[in-house]
Amino acid sequence: MARSAAASQPQYDFYQMLPNLRVTVPAPSAPGARSVGPGGRPQFGGYVLQVGAYSSEAHARKVVAYLDSLGTLAHIDTVHEGEKTLYRVRIGPVIERWELNRFRHQLKLVGLPAVLIPGATH
């Protein structure tokens, strides 16, 4: 006895199955999101992208403001080397590789350099 092709196909009733399926999707983190440690300094556990190191704090703040306008959270690390002070503009921490590549691509599009700093602590 041969069965028809329609009878041998599995039958699915999605309208009955789907309401019973529940998938929990975690909320996405904001671009450049980071945990904040003592004194408001970011705590890192991954990669940091350095956008620049400037001798002028005002210039570094302008770069941070520009990055903020693009939706990328950046911060300034101040470094004293002898009598010289540098204001490093950084993004991070970046733990996921896809997010790292997205930031690098975004910076390239607007003509800003991105130096990858693995395992940075601040």
Alpha carbons within 13 angstroms on the beta-carbon side of residue 117 total 19
- Name 73's Cβ contacts closer than 8 Å, sequence gap at least 6: 30, 31, 32, 33, 34, 67, 91
The rounded distance, in Å, linking the Cα atoms of 91 and 114 is 9
User: Could you report the per-residue pLDDT of 18-75, keeping only the tens digit for each?
Assistant: 566 555 555 555 444 444 444 444 454 678 899 999 999 999 999 999 999 988 889 9
Q: pTM (2 decimals)?
A: 0.59
With tokens 């570094």, the residue in question is 60
Alpha helices in the chain (DSSP H): 5-8, 14-17, 57-69, 97-109
User: Could you report the per-residue pLDDT of 72-106, keeping only the tens digit for each?
Assistant: 889 999 999 889 999 999 998 887 888 888 888 98
DSSP state of 83: T
